[in-house]
A and B are shown apart, each in its own frame.
Chain A
Amino acid sequence: MLQQLEQLKSKALQELTSINHPEQMESWRVRYLGKKSELTRILRSLATLPVDERKAVGAQANRVKADLADGLRQKEQALREMQLAASAQEERIDITLPGHPFPIGRLHPITQTLHEICSIFASMGFQVVEGPEVEWDHYNFEALNIPKEHPARDTMATLWVDFKTDSGQRPMLLRTHTTSVDIRIMETTPPPLRVVIPGKVYRYEASDATHTPMFYQIDGLVVDEGITMADLKGTLYEFARRFFGEDRKVRFRCDYFPFVEPGAEMAIECSVCGGKGCRLCNYTGWIEILGAGMTHPQVLRNGGLDPQVYTGFAFGMGVDRLPILRYGIDDTRLFYSSDLRFLRQF
């Protein structure tokens, strides 16, 4: 009997291995584990066996039943997986059909640039502040050592607001630089100061490929005890390294702005010619990026600070120029055209 069970098991398991369809599985199950199967018959006939044999055969028959059921489960599992694999093999779509398009929103390239600049300065401890775009002559010029009839006013042709005081003065203007916020900050916030001031500025200038009457600037202002020109250089070099890259050469030279002394200008090596000289850099090899300098003692005084105690530095940079250089944009008017064919490229 035991031998019969053993033969039954090996026959059933052998048949199981050759099965590869779910229908065959079912007939195999009926044949070996069904109510009319030989195994069931043996199990039912246990009662007819002598006691000592019954125990051995019973145990053996149940083991065989468990093994067959186990084999069936495994086979079923294997068959299911085979089937899944086969159906996955068969299913095909045209993967070259276009995907379902989601509407994409983008930030304006100038906003992107401003975020990048501000985050670089924020990492050096600068706080972002803003100020009014329509401004008094006092904050834009007078308090920055640019009195009326100063030649520096000619380099910042001004749009004036149609507003006259009782004395006939016309003191309201569209700010020509974000430096206009410097005095406001000094007046309201005691040092130490470490701020950047992004925003729109305006000039009385005809539009062409390199000029627009409105553009963006970002100014910086640091005031504390012991601020030096070496700190100014370090701050600007760090900005240049992170914005323009490690290998870009930087030039730091003497320049003049009425609200700083000593004054400086920073330029980077021309990206187009690599410093050899080309049309973009006006054959100098350098592209001017920003003006800077040590805050003039009179400007500190105008802001209510004592130049005997405090020193400071300031810098100002045109923002529009940076994406122009980075992306090779040939017409600065495109920034304010709202043309989607332009804006979608960034």
Chain B
Amino acid sequence: MKIPFKWLQQYIDITLPPADLANRLTMAGTEVKGLEVIGGSWENIVIGRIIAVNPHPNADRLSLPTIDLGTEQHTVVCGAPNLMVGDKVAFAYVGAQLIDGYTDKLSTLKPAKIRGILSSGMACSEKELGISDNHETIMVLPPEAPIGIPVADYLGDTIFDLDVTPNRPDCLSVVGIAREVAALTGQSLHLPQVSYEEAVPPIDQQISVEIDAPDLCPRYCASLITGVKITDSPKWLQQRLLACGIRSINNIVDITNYVMLEYGQPLHAFDYRRIRGNKIIVRRPTPGEAMVTLDGVTRILSENMLVIAGGEGAVAIAGVMGGADSEVTPETTSILLEAANFNPASIHYTGRQLSLPSEACMRFERGIRPELTIPALKRATQLIIQLADGKAARGFIDVYPGKLDREPILLSVGKVKTLLGVDFSLDQIVTALTSLGFDCKMGDSASEVLVSAPYWRSDIHQAVDLIEEVVRIIGYDNIPVTMLSQPLPRQNPEPILALKQKVVHSLIGYGFQEVITYSLTSLEMLSKLLPEPHPLEPAPLRLANPMTADQEYLRPNLRVNLLAALSANRRHEDGGIRLFELGKVYLPRPDDLPDEPEVLCGILSGPGFEKSWQGEAEPVDFYTAKGVVETLLSQLGVEASLEHCQDETLHPGKQASIVVADGSLGVVGELHPKVARAFEISEPVYLFEINLTALLPYTVGHRMFQPIPRFPAIVRDIALVVDAGITHQKVLNIINSFPLVSQVTLFDVYTGEPVPPGKKSLAYRITFQSPARTLTDKAVDNVQQQILAKLSHDLGATLRTQN
């Protein structure tokens, strides 16, 4: 909310400079987001009075006004058509900073010869002062403006831009902020004195009000003013509204807005003659009821809303917008002025459903107090009488079904200390609360007080609310700084957190860059993962209100985003790329929150090392990706086997499932070429995925220490020739089944001459070692023969001979 400093000063004496006051307000909970100084650049501009206007001898359109500044007089050249002897104007001396009417930039006024006459100084337009866009006429100041004083002193102001928190609708008003300032500075308030003459007959003979929905309308008050003249508002009122960001409409509407800004109570003015039947009913809309609002739009209403209805249907959507039918127009002569209180949730709902946020809505939905209606109604009625010549009917309508008594709240010194950790005396507590208008009565003991909140506060329900009031007035800076001194709670760290830490550090050790991608994606992106189109099974979780079509679904996997990331990076990266993400995927479950397992996904493409002068690096392949998986699992102490599988996103012949204890926990493989093309990737891409949540149980615990071998090892190399279909795993299993074998390393795989077609050669380095003795060559020869015999028998393997 915007509040001009000068308006605030009408209600409270302020000795602090605006910036200091802003800081006090901010510290106490009402943040001042900005201070806009009006007239900050108005140096060398003073108020003068036109005492003569003579024609320019050389130009018909120009004239030569003489301006009296009290101690001196100046004659200048002026082109404005509205120069009148006796008018007060803003006179700028040479050297003043003015906004240029054509370039809109601030420039310094220089003496100028216009059509042969020297003009030193000028009479300013509103535009030149930055007040409005009017550059056609010079600005005429009110007749009471004092001659000779700087315009900045007279018209300048500082606008406070306040961020009022949702619990303080009372601060959405000048009076509310004045009350805050009074409490913070100790100055006393002087609020507007409201009194006016009432005419006969009484209002209740002219209109009746009935509340059909008391749950949505706790109170409805109204006054009736007849004989009003609808005109423009006086200049001061227009400018004040403008400074607060509200456009001027006419004197009546402006007064309702002015009083809303002043007291925080929204008001609505009906054209009394347009309310049929002299009766108002506050009710829920009838099924399918529609009405045309002030903005000319037909609104369909629903049963959770509230309307103000006359004898012939709705005349306003309560608290949100008036109807076009009963709008105040230039022909209006009688005003029914409404000041009501509506249910906050209902107003919030209605404002949102109809997309009609408004200043009134904002105040109602935050829960202003029903007690505000009468003071605001009186104030507005008084202003209408003053500024629109009306006569008020005697009395008010006041229907108040929602009247509730508020119980006082018990507050003790001990409670304050328990919550804040600081000892405030009862005296300090009472002083702070009293300064805010709270009523404090002594309680049963000397350390207690019974507190009643002032009528304008809707946010005080219990002792902690009072404690906040006390400490924000005394100042948060007076809360001491202490470290937690309670015994440390028992720690039960979730094991998945440690696993995630371990995994990310391993991955960066392997040269992978971590990425974090959005959890939201689209069916279109997910479909790119399918080489042949078909519906996604199970369907991913959909949002009811997606921001954009490309963020409509919660991701069921990480690969979709990593492939998009790779594709995007390929536009500017030609080296090897290794990316990983560790994050949640979202798997729908019937009638429950989705399952959110933590998944690791990595992708690799391009050369394994950066291009170097020491030689071209080999591109990564399936075995690089598999190596990452094997190394990671080995670091985590997990025994896994890789088995054939069918993941449609991956190359049918180059993929393996990561199997731990008979369950598949992930996959590694080359991206299906059709999928790569869908992502606009033109090179082989390798990918691995591991469900860490599922892996977790196999990673906990630790391996036992193995003694370092005391006896020497004997190493033998053998080269086997086997059928091309025989896998390394089968050979390995046989070799490993012999007890003295401690390590087996495959060091060559070869096909082609001289190995016969349909066969391949596998070369192994086998380490033999015994934990109990030094092996002899003879013993090793013996085992090696047994190995070869079994390989030959089981797999048809022969020893490859040199020839």
Contact = CB atoms under 8 A, between A and B. Distances in A.
B7 to A, nearest CB: 22
Query: A-B pairs with the 3 shortest C-beta distances?
Result: A103-B511, A228-B421, A230-B421
B484 A101 contact: no
Interface in A78-96: none
Interface stretch (A2-10, A64-72, A121-129): A121-129
Given A227-B484, A256-B168, A339 B568 contact: yes
Interface string B404-439: 000000000000001111100000000000000000
B594 A107 contact: no
A238 B561 CA distance: 38
Contacts of A227: 484, 486
Contacts of B486: 192, 224-227
A233 interface: yes
Residue of B166, B493, B546 most packed against chain A (CB within 10 A): B166
A344 B513 CA distance: 8
A41 interface: no
Interface in A294-346: 294, 296-297, 311, 335-341, 343-344
Given A255-B165, A256-B29, A103 B578 contact: yes
B419 A235 contact: no
Nearest to A125: B488
A254 interface: yes
Interface stretch (A14-22, A29-37, A47-55, A260-268): A260-268
Contacts of B516: 108, 110-111, 335-336, 338
B569 interface: yes
Interface in A98-140: 98, 100-108, 110-111, 124-125, 127-130, 132-136
Interface of B: 26-29, 31, 33-34, 165-168, 344-346, 348-349, 362, 365-366, 418-422, 462, 464-465, 467-468, 471-472, 476-477, 479-489, 491-494, 496-497, 504, 507-520, 541-547, 551, 554, 561-562, 564-565, 568-569, 572-573, 576-579, 583-584, 586, 593-594, 596, 608-610, 612-614
A100 to B, nearest CB: 6
Given A128-B493, A343-B513, A230 B479 contact: yes
Nearest to A112: B514
A294 B421 contact: no
B612 A101 contact: yes
Contacts of B578: 103, 105
B345 A192 contact: no
B509 A161 contact: no
A282 interface: yes
A330 B504 CA distance: 27
B494 A200 contact: no
A259 to B, nearest CB: 12
A237 B481 CA distance: 8
A343 B467 contact: no
Contact of A336 (B29, B419, B517, B614): B517
A240 to B, nearest CB: 11
Contact of B420 (A129, A230, A263, A297): A230
A254 B513 contact: no
A84 to B, nearest CB: 27
B468 A133 contact: no
A338 B544 contact: no
Residue of B507, B569, B573, B593 most packed against chain A (CB within 10 A): B593
A174 B518 CA distance: 13
Nearest to B568: A338
A213 B519 CA distance: 10
Given A103-B576, A111-B516, A151-B366, A194 B489 contact: yes
A193 interface: yes
Contacts of A128: 493-494, 497
Interface in A218-258: 222, 224-231, 233-235, 237-238, 251-256, 258
B688 to A, nearest CB: 15
Contact of A214 (B482, B518, B565): B518
Nearest to A97: B613
A103 B610 contact: yes
Contacts of B546: 159
Contacts of A214: 518-520
A130 B494 contact: yes
A338 B565 contact: yes
Given A105-B578, A108-B514, A110-B516, A125 B484 contact: yes
A206 interface: yes
Contacts of B576: 103
B178 to A, nearest CB: 18
A222 B482 CA distance: 14
Contacts of B519: 133, 174, 200, 202, 214
Given A107-B508, A133-B519, A170 B544 contact: yes
Residue of B512, B547, B573, B612 most packed against chain A (CB within 10 A): B547
A343 B515 contact: yes
Given A213-B551, A230-B421, A256-B167, A264 B593 contact: no
A134 B594 contact: yes
Nearest to B365: A151
19 contacts: A104-B511, A105-B578, A111-B516, A133-B586, A134-B596, A151-B366, A161-B554, A200-B584, A204-B545, A227-B486, A252-B476, A253-B26, A254-B471, A255-B165, A262-B464, A294-B464, A297-B462, A336-B516, A338-B562
Contacts of B572: 341
A162 interface: yes
Contacts of B497: 128, 130
